[in-house]
Amino acid sequence: MIRRWFLNPYVQLGCNALSTAAADLLLKKGATAGETVTWFGLGALASVWTWLGIVAYLVGFASWLYVLRHMPLSIAFGLVTVVQLLVPLGARLFIGEYISPQRWLGIGCVLCGTVLIGRIAAKVDEIT
């Protein structure tokens, strides 16, 4: 039985953000895993990393559909921008990619906007 807290749209929004970020990282790993280059990168389909990324995208897609049923799109879309922080952070930690200071500044600006939207969403939830 699924616990009630898991069905909270904000929890599902977090699941969407985490699984989308994981999918992007897994697909990157899958795309670069093979030594052979094929037409449009289709050789990446031979990598287990690619298939794990596809599964992660499907999990995120299911969470996103749940969120859209239970939350205004204007709020959900603004909050899911946290992926803009999660992907570069994951790329740095797990893939070893360099992220420039200017990029971190931009990520910080996006994160500030996400926090503002979150505060507005919390106030709207208090009223309703």
Q: Where are the alpha helices (DSSP H) in 2-100?
A: 9-33, 48-70, 73-79, 83-90
Least confident window among 25-29, 38-42, 62-66, 91-95: 38-42
Q: What per-residue confidence (pLDDT) applies to 75?
A: 86
- Percent of the chain with pLDDT strictly greater than 90: 57
Q: What per-residue confidence (pLDDT) applies to 2?
A: 64
Report CA Rg, the chain. Answer: 17
**Secondary structure (H, E, C), 29-55:** HHHHHCCCCCHHHHHHHHCHHHHHHHH
Q: Packing angle between helix 101-127 and helix 83-90, nearest 10 degrees?
A: 140
Q: Are 12 and 61 in contact (CB under 8 A)?
A: no
In the predicted structure, residue 1 carries a pLDDT above the cut 60? no
Q: What per-residue confidence (pLDDT) applies to 89?
A: 95
pLDDT, tens only, 26-37: 999 988 876 666
Region 82-91: mean pLDDT is: 94
